[in-house]
Amino acid sequence: MPAALPSRRALIATGATLLAALALNTRLLPAWLMAALLPLATLAIVARWRGAGPLPTLWRVLLLVGACAAIAATQPSVFGREAGAALLAAMLVLKYLETNGVRDARLVVMVSNFLAMAAFLRDQSFEQTALTIALLVLVLIALQWLRTDRIAPAADAAAQPSLRDWRSPLREALLALAVAVPFALVSFLLFPRLASPLWGTLDDKPRGRVGIDDELELGALSGLALDDSPAFRVRFDNDGPAPPPAERYWRGLVLWTFDGRVWRGSRRFLGTRAGSDIRPSGKRYAYEITLADSPKIWRFALDAPLTTPADMRRAVDLQITGPAGPRANRRYRATSATHYRLHSALPPALRRSGLELPAGSNPGAMRLGQQWRAQHGANVDAIVREALDLIRKQFLYSLDPPPLGRQAIDEFLFSTRIGFCEHFASSFVFLMRAAGIPARIVTGYQGGERNSVGGYWIVRQSDAHAWAEIWIAGRGWERVDPTAAVAPERVLRGGSGFGAGSDAGWLGKVGWWAGLRDRADVLGSWWQQAVVGFDALRQTSLLQRLGIGEEDRARHVVLWVALVMATLGLAALLLTIGRAVPASPWIVLYRQYVAKLARSGIVRGSTEGPVEFSERAATQLPHQASEIRSIAQEFIALRYARQHAVESIEDRRLEALRSKVRGLQLARPRDAMAR
């Protein structure tokens, strides 16, 4: 007899956990792998529902070799989080295709849970947490069905348990999660925390969610145009008004050096603090910024920052840096002015850096800048107008600019003429330097949208922007945004409004949708601050309020252990009070056997064991004696010797016992004696 399989509904629940785990890893797994695994897993679930068995060995081997080769060819390294998760996901789908017993199905369920936890380590947002909890419910339902449903492949459809009977396992799953909440809460608040996560030391940069980088290559920022995730949130003091859109520039990095293709910052200016060279005018804005989780050292502020926290450094070019760490200084206060004068007299080091160009790089742009210098002399405004008029009349703004070669500036100015903000800023700065005007690139964000429910502003990754600053004698550094010349709506509406960000399209104009999104963001913001942001420093503050200082490590551990034991005891009590232990399937079959004998007039005594009772029944029913003794032997083998049985043997014995109990046809003892 072939080994018994889990019931179809247990296999469907197992496949559902697999699909859910894959879906939770969409940001971590490569897109091509998801496009292959999701349809394959779906087809496997449908096939199992229709009664198909495991995939033939040859096909499994071919899929295994193909998956390993594709992952090795597409991943930069076979080590690391991304490659490991991709390989685990592929192996998990292949394991489901070969599932041939309850043990295999349990393995698929538990590894699916592990794969979901791997995604959770990368993203602890409120949405990801809710989806992970939903997957845990699926896991618990699947495990319950795998424990109770064992149907042989040859069983008829009527014997298959129904998917409609989901209320009881769902109730059990929710109860298990509910009683685990006190334990989870105690461990979250009191388990001794490290200063940084264990996985924070892995040099495994996730793709697609890097945000602003310390290098700027033409085409780099356009990759963020479709990223709707928040970069940071801003709350102005007293929920006051924000600057108008044209002044909503959030300064980040200042880039000075250019090698012909890539712009980089200059670390020699980071150690020089900005002094009294900045002279603000007009309105000042006081606000608080809450960064998204990022290990970068640079911080963002409304241009231009006047005051920053004591543990941050404002360099001479107004770039702000802070301590490194996964969640260091995620919330800080600053004061800024949008109208100011910086460096009326330019220091020599800044002048040299602001005019430096690589030798032999982009000769066409170099000649054009020198031509403007010869034509207009020291008239900086006229040279700037020449550059902006050129961009306004002959260039196009695009979220998907064509790739450029080694002479990137020349190719953009004289060939493609289609670009994103970094193309225009880079070309403009290069032309200004070629014309003898000190210039530099600033990267950061421009725009932002107000959350009407929370009263704060959200600046998203899609708001990433690059602009230029030039130095003019007597006026200092002035911002020039060449993107505004070709796409003024980019500055007026922000990146998320111009591209495919949060408010793009007709759905962003629907009032109920905007309100729902604002409420969801408020919840997500609270989750990031109160839960994800609960670090070692906040735990120390909580313990101090409980009267436990940093030196009282022993009391801390004793308190945690005591509360954990109390919560586990409470969970065990709630799970056992008033709840009968579910009978094993062989016990259920034995009870059916005893009930059949009782209907024939043979009632089991309260002290009779299975052997004694069956011998008495065989004596009274001699024509069914062999069947009765066979049922007793099968039951004893399952009930008392199962610790030595392999699962497939156990399943065969259980199916044999089920068949014999169903086929047992009994007459009353007097009728048997008459025959």
Residue 84 near residue 204, CB atoms below 8 Å: no
280 and 422 inside one domain: yes
Most confidently modeled of 274-278, 395-399, 510-514? 395-399
Q: Which residue has the higher pLDDT, 569 or 76?
A: 569
Average pLDDT over residues 422-449: 94
219 and 160 inside one domain: no
pLDDT of 101: 82
pLDDT of 295: 65
**Global pTM exceeds 0.75:** no
Q: How does residue 672 score in pLDDT terms, banded at 50, 70 and 90?
A: very low
Q: How does residue 579 score in pLDDT terms, banded at 50, 70 and 90?
A: low
pLDDT of 503: 46
Is there a domain that residue 564 lies in? no
- What whole-number distance in Å separates Cα of residue 590 and Cα of residue 638? 11
Whether pLDDT at 154 is above 50 = no
State phi, psi for 146 to the nearest 5 degrees.
-65, -30
Is there a domain that residue 485 lies in? yes
Whether pLDDT at 440 is above 90 = yes
Instruction: For residue 460, list its beta bridge partners.
Output: 230
pLDDT of 1: 40
pLDDT of 188: 87
What are 354-369's pLDDT values in tens digits? 999 998 889 999 999 9
Is there a domain that residue 413 lies in? yes
281 and 364 inside one domain: yes
Peptide bond into 500 cis (omega under 30): no
Among 260, 259, 243, 241, CA closest to 251: 243
Residue 461 near residue 228, CB atoms below 8 Å: yes
396 and 462 inside one domain: yes
What are 166-208's pLDDT values in tens digits? 788 888 888 888 888 888 898 888 887 765 554 444 444 443 3
pLDDT of 650: 62
Average pLDDT over residues 120-148: 87
Whether pLDDT at 102 is above 60 = yes
Is there a domain that residue 432 lies in? yes
pLDDT of 201: 42
Average pLDDT over residues 83-109: 88
Average pLDDT over residues 117-145: 88
350 and 423 inside one domain: yes
Lowest mean pLDDT among 99-103, 148-152, 619-623: 148-152
Q: Which parts of 202-264 fold into alpha helices (H)?
A: none
255 and 390 inside one domain: yes
State phi, psi for 344 to the nearest 5 degrees.
-60, -35
Is there a domain that residue 611 lies in? yes
Whether pLDDT at 318 is above 50 = yes
What are 503-549's pLDDT values in tens digits? 444 445 555 666 787 888 888 888 877 787 777 777 888 888 888 87
The three-point CA angle 547-553-556 to 5° equals 55
pLDDT of 204: 44
Decide which of 131, 165, 199 is a domain's last residue.
Answer: 165
29 and 151 inside one domain: yes
160 and 219 inside one domain: no
Tokens 């995939």 belong to residue: 55
Is there a domain that residue 206 lies in? no
For 326, counting Cβ atoms within 10 Å of its Cβ (0-12 exposed, 13-18 middle, 19+ buried), the class is middle
Q: Which parts of 50-125 fold into alpha helices (H)?
A: 57-74, 81-97, 102-122
Decide which of 456, 487, 504 is a domain's last residue.
Answer: 504
233 and 158 inside one domain: no
Give the percent of the chain with pLDDT over 70: 84
Which residue segment(s) compose the domain that 326 sits in? 215-504
pLDDT of 476: 93
Give me the sign of the Cα torsion angle 35, 36, 38, 43: positive
For residue 212, give every residue at least 6 positions away whose Cβ sits within 8 Å of its Cβ, in sequence order, or none.
231, 252, 253, 296, 298, 443, 444, 445, 464
Query: Mean pLDDT in the chain?
Result: 82
- What whole-number distance in Å separates Cα of residue 265 and Cα of residue 657? 77
Whether pLDDT at 674 is above 50 = no
* Pair of tokens at residue 435: 């014309």
245 and 161 inside one domain: no
Is there a domain that residue 523 lies in? no
Is there a domain that residue 207 lies in? no
Tell me how crowded residue 322 is: count the other CB atoms within 10 A of its CB: 19
For residue 203, give every residue at least 6 positions away whose Cβ sits within 8 Å of its Cβ, in sequence order, or none.
none
Q: How does residue 383 score in pLDDT terms, banded at 50, 70 and 90?
A: very high
Q: How does residue 623 score in pLDDT terms, banded at 50, 70 and 90?
A: confident
What are 240-250's pLDDT values in tens digits? 888 998 899 99
Could you give the number of structural domains in the chain?
3
Give the percent of the chain with pLDDT over 90: 27
Average pLDDT over residues 10-33: 88
149 and 244 inside one domain: no
161 and 258 inside one domain: no
- Helix-helix angle 126-148:8-24, to 10 degrees: 160
Average pLDDT over residues 425-439: 96
Whether pLDDT at 500 is above 50 = no
* Pair of tokens at residue 365: 């742009």
Q: Which residue has the higher pLDDT, 655 or 251?
A: 251
What are 215-243's pLDDT values in tens digits? 888 877 777 777 788 889 999 998 788 89
Q: How does residue 438 score in pLDDT terms, banded at 50, 70 and 90?
A: very high
Average pLDDT over residues 114-142: 88
Decide which of 165, 180, 207 is a domain's last residue.
Answer: 165
